[in-house]
Each structure stands twice: as structure tokens, then as C-alpha cells.
Structure 1
């Protein structure tokens, strides 16, 4: 949400003829990993669980 607000403020600033500030750039650098990190972690956990489920030892039990 913070990234979206930051982008909206930057777009409005640029449309009104201003220059983008450093705070907008800093917000992107901070919020980018906060958004991508959980998505990447969820993908890794899902892949790990899928691999555990598909191992031969687990298939023999079924």
C-alpha cells in the first residue's frame, strides 16, 4: 500500500511540473523488498512442500 501511495504522489508531482523527490525513491527501495520478499518466500515454501509430498517415501505410504 505504501508503494502505491508513493507512486501516486510521484505521478501527481510530475504532472504538476515538479521534480521527483528523494523520499519517493527511498520509499521504493524500502517497500520493494517488503512486497517481493513475502511473495518469494511463499513460492519457495510451496515448492518445498510439493517436493516433500512427491518423494518416493511418501508415495509408498499412500
Structure 2
């Protein structure tokens, strides 16, 4: 992916790119950025897990 490119290679494409570009290009940053409904951001996943645990803990209607 883009995170494998050197800073110099990225700056050849866009001179305004700075060293902090690697903070947003990695897999972790990508996962954290997906905050829309159904996204993979850790807070979303934790919220879904909690909701399903609650739902699964309810008795099944006879």
C-alpha cells in the first residue's frame, strides 16, 4: 500500500506531504477512521458487541 512508499516518493507526487502522512496511511488508522454505521472503528465494534450481548442474554419467547 501507500504506507510502503518512502516520504520522498510521496513528496514527488505532492510536495505538501509531510512525515505525519504515515500516521494516516496505516491499517490501524484506516480501521479507526471507519466511523459510519457498520464501520470498523473500535468504538463502533464495541457498541455492536454490547448490543448483541444484551440481545442474546434475553430469554427466548416460547
Point out which structure has higher relative CO (alpha carbons under 8 A, 6+ apart).
1
Normalized per residue, which structure has more helix?
A: 1
From the CA coordinates, give the structure whose radius of gyration is larger: 1
TM bracket (short chain)? 0.3 to 0.5
> TM-score normalised to the size of structure 1?
0.41
